Structures are given as structure tokens and as C-alpha cells.
Amino acid sequence: MIVNISAKHLDLTPAIEQYIRSKVTRLERHFDKVLQINFVIEKQPHHGFHVELITDVEHHEDFIANSTHDDLYACVDLVLDRGVRQLTDHKDRLRNRKHPEIDKSA
């Protein structure tokens, strides 16, 4: 799995990058077909931080989660919670997909 982290109007410190990489394992635990994860961290002038999580999953469109908060670490946690929720919902839909009945009399 590829993890890309980019920052706008903010210096990306090794501590922030390490924190994100340690938390990303939650996404892998819930769904094993994650190909790529993109984090975009943006420092906004009056609204704190905005984090966008784009998750590229095999055989599906990208999942996008957003979060805005005054604390960067809380913002990362919120966006990861939303990303995990999207992946678990998708996994449940795949598991519960109804297949057409096969006619056994033939």
C-alpha cells in the first residue's frame, strides 16, 4: 500500500508524518484491498486545519473523507474515523450482496 502525505501552507514535520503512518494501519485492518492512500493537510487562516483523505480501493471509485479542526492530530483522527467507516460500509455491502438464485431443477 502506498501512502502519500502532502501539506499546503504548512511544514510537514517527521512527527506528523510518523503519526499519520502509524494510524493508517487501521485502514488496512478493515479492508485489505486498499491500493493507495493520499493525505492532503492544509493550514487554513482562521479555521485551523483541513485534512482530506483519499483512499484508492481495488475495483471501486476513490473514497474521500474530509475533516476540519483546530488541532491537527484531532483532525487526522476524525478523518481516519470517517475513512474507516466508509471502508467498513463498503465491505459490508460486498459481503451482503444478494446473488440471484440458481435453478436447481435443471
DSSP-assigned beta bridge partners for residue 7: 41
Burial string for 19-55 (b: 16+ CB within 10 Å, else e) reads ebeebbeebeeebeebeebbbebbeeeeeebbbbbbb
Residue ranges covered by each domain of the chain: 2-70
Residue 106's SS3 state is: coil
Backbone dihedral angles phi then psi of residue 62, each to the nearest 5 degrees: -65, 145
Would you tell me which CATH number, out of the four given (3.30.930.10, 3.30.160.100, 3.40.640.10, 3.30.70.1290), belongs to the domain 2-70?
3.30.160.100
pLDDT in tens, 51-88: 999 999 988 899 999 999 999 999 999 999 999 999 99
pLDDT in tens, 15-54: 999 999 999 988 888 788 889 999 999 999 887 999 999 9
DSSP-assigned beta bridge partners for residue 57: 34
User: pTM here?
Assistant: 0.84
The answer to whether the CB of 37 falls within 8 A of the CB of 56 is yes
